[in-house]
Structure 1
Amino acid sequence: MGSETHSNQLSVIKLVQNAYDLMGEGANFNRIMKGICCLSANNGRLSAEFTVSEEHVNDKGTLYGGFLAALVDVLTATCVKLLIPESRIVSIELSVRFTLP
């Protein structure tokens, strides 16, 4: 990978991370992005990580499925926005299947 390509990737990651950080500071539902760390973002693909904490789990102590679905929605929208910057993104349908832990 050339240094210019690597530099471009780093600037995209920083752009995405800044957006997630701003979302995480909000008082509305966007605050679910607090603590989400963008690891890579390139050609419509994105990798992110976060540490599961008490605010992410249900009464059984497992990751809350609604949080995970919302996170998938935001990350997917980010991928579309990176591919088509002028696009307005609205989810029309989202389906997530969960299995028992």
Structure 2
Amino acid sequence: MERRTADSFQEEDIALFFLDILPELKKQADVFMSRAAESTFIPPETLQVEAALDPSMGWLDISFETSDLNEEDVFHLMKALKEKKRYYKSRAAMFP
């Protein structure tokens, strides 16, 4: 079993709040956030993902277009997706 640090629990708690709790709270009340809190996550509408299947090669081609992630972040984001993580923390401390 992997040992977890206090930082990883904090990151998971933040992701849980933004991904699960906050959307439910927004259904019940008006929610106002500071710009710093809003900038913690990359809004899904700014991340454009395209996928295409090349039947001759049997390959899946996936491309990302966003101004918020650099090439290294996209590589680590794909790794996080492969590991079935619900979030990825970029070097800019955003949680797409």
* TM-score for both structures, normalised by structure 1: 0.25
* TM-score for both structures, normalised by structure 2: 0.26
* Greater RCO (CA < 8 Å, at least 6 residues apart): 2
